[in-house]
Amino acid sequence: MKIHSYQHKVQYYETDQMGMVHHSNYIRWFEEARVDYLEQIGLPYHMIEAGGILSPVLEMHCQYKTKTTFGETVIIQVGLKSYSGLRYTIGYEVVGEDGKIRCIGESGHCFVNTEGRPTSLKRAKPEWDEIFKAEITVE
């Protein structure tokens, strides 16, 4: 798995009355990091959608470790954990300014066409399939 990095500056509207980031926002940061990651590997999500492929979220897992506070810039380490041509899993690690892990997560996805039918990326877009496979390869 190749690790890519994404930065997010914590916003005031992301805090809650516990004085820290509300846990639902990490799921949104994962999406930000995932979208940025796909851009970094040459598969921007708007291009995927323009190509008639959607990639909905099937599963989400998240472990909260330490609290994140307003104004902090967190780094999200993101990479492709598994890929089968039909499905893939992306892993996330959110690290705070103090170097501590804030949260660890994983999201599972598939590909569907515009009618919502499961689609094999391998068959539908072999050149994109190659990109995904290259990401998963340990060099």
Instruction: Please select the residue that binds a copy of itself; options are 1, 5, 32, 120, rule is CB under 8 A.
Output: 32
Give 87-93 contacts, CB < 8 A, sequence gap 24+.
87/58, 88/132, 90/30, 90/34, 90/37, 91/1, 92/29, 92/30, 92/33, 92/34
If binding is defined by CB under 8 A, does position 15 make contact with a copy of itself? yes
Give 94-102 contacts, CB < 8 A, sequence gap 24+.
94/26, 94/29, 94/68, 96/66, 96/68, 96/72, 97/72, 97/73, 100/65, 100/66, 101/65, 101/66, 102/26, 102/64, 102/65, 102/66, 102/67, 102/68, 102/74
If binding is defined by CB under 8 A, does position 18 make contact with a copy of itself? yes
Q: Find the shortest distance in angstroms from Cβ 13 to a copy of itself.
A: 5
Instruction: Please select the residue that binds a copy of itself; options are 46, 52, 123, 126, rule is CB under 8 A.
Output: 46
**16: annotated active-site residue:** yes
Residues 62-91 that bind a copy of itself (CB under 8 A): 62-64, 67, 70-71
Q: Find the shortest distance in angstroms from Cβ 71 to a copy of itself.
A: 5
Stretch that binds a copy of itself, among 41-49, 77-85, 121-129, 130-138 (CB under 8 A): 41-49
Q: Which amino acids are annotated catalytic?
A: 16
Give the footprint of a copy of itself on this chain (CB under 8 A). 11-13, 15-20, 22-25, 27-28, 31-32, 35, 44-46, 54, 56-64, 67, 70-71
